[in-house]
Amino acid sequence: MIKYVFLDLDDTVLDFHKAEEVAIQKTLRHFGVTPTEKTVARYSAINQAQWKLLEQGKLTRAEVKLRRFSLLFEELGVQIDAEAARTFYEEALSHGHYFIAGAEQLLQDLCKDYALYIASNGTTAVQNGRIASAGIAHYFEEIFLSEQIGAVKPTKAFFDHCFARIPQFDRHEAIILGDSLTSDIQGGIHAGIKTCWFNPKGECAGGEVRPDFEISALEEFLPLLKSL
């Protein structure tokens, strides 16, 4: 029986890519660069690659925040201060929220029978701003952010911290739902809890990371929990 549900925030509850698109467009315009579709897509790819390096322990969070802009501006051949861009971008990102289809209803339903927790690698100020903007904090027993914890998903240290904060926690009664195989699912495996991959695009898992369960729409998650 499941009692504890850990939810990733970005692209599981809130649509990060939409928020990212809006924030980077605002940032580029602010610094005098026309935000073309190609440029926005390139930033997203660069940004995602840097966060993967963070998960692997190859970059620090501070390096990720600046490197994504330095690399983009170098490719564009423009002279813009990466720190100034980071500051503006994070402020813009913290005010935007767009729900993944079915997320609001899922939270309303889950909170009736399960203890809910956010488990996110996102920047503290940005995530707290987006959570506040979305008005969803009251659904969660606690919000676990890697920047505050000092460890990132998928490390065991991140989850050990979370578990230690939950009275009488039993990992056999816990599950994590997230869209990232390398962060959420691998992290759940490291932590010894059940894992559910949110895979709306129908991607092939491949590799060695194998989730216990997989759903393509959030509406599928509650029936799955009730069956366990």
Residue 129 belongs to what H/E stretch?
helix 124-134
* pTM (predicted TM-score): 0.91
- Which position has the higher pLDDT, 43 or 208? 43
Instruction: Give the whole-number percent of the chain exceeding pLDDT 70.
Output: 100
Cβ 93 vs Cβ 126: under 8 Å: yes
Is 8 one of the catalytic residues? yes
Q: What letter represents residue 10's amino acid?
A: D
Q: Which pLDDT belongs to residue 208?
A: 85
Q: Alpha-carbon distance 14 to 96, whole Å?
A: 10
* 37-55 and 16-30 helices, crossing angle to 10°: 120
Q: Which pLDDT belongs to residue 133?
A: 93
Q: Which pLDDT belongs to residue 207?
A: 80
Q: Which pLDDT belongs to residue 97?
A: 87
List Cα–Cα distances, 133 to 79, 88, 136, 137, in angstroms.
33, 18, 8, 10
pLDDT in tens, 90-112: 999 998 789 999 999 999 999 99
Look over the chain and give the mean of its residue pLDDT values, rounded to a whole number: 95
pLDDT in tens, 112-150: 999 999 999 989 999 999 999 999 999 999 999 999 999
Annotated active-site residue in 8, 11, 15, 184: 8
Question: What integer is the mean pLDDT of 72-90?
Answer: 96
Residue 198 belongs to what H/E stretch?
strand 194-198
Confidence category of residue 205, pLDDT binned at 50, 70, 90: confident
Tell me phi and psi for residue 5, to 5 degrees.
-120, 120
**Domains contained in the chain, CATH given:** 4-15+99-227 (3.40.50.1000), 16-94 (1.10.150.240)
- Which position has the higher pLDDT, 95 or 35? 35
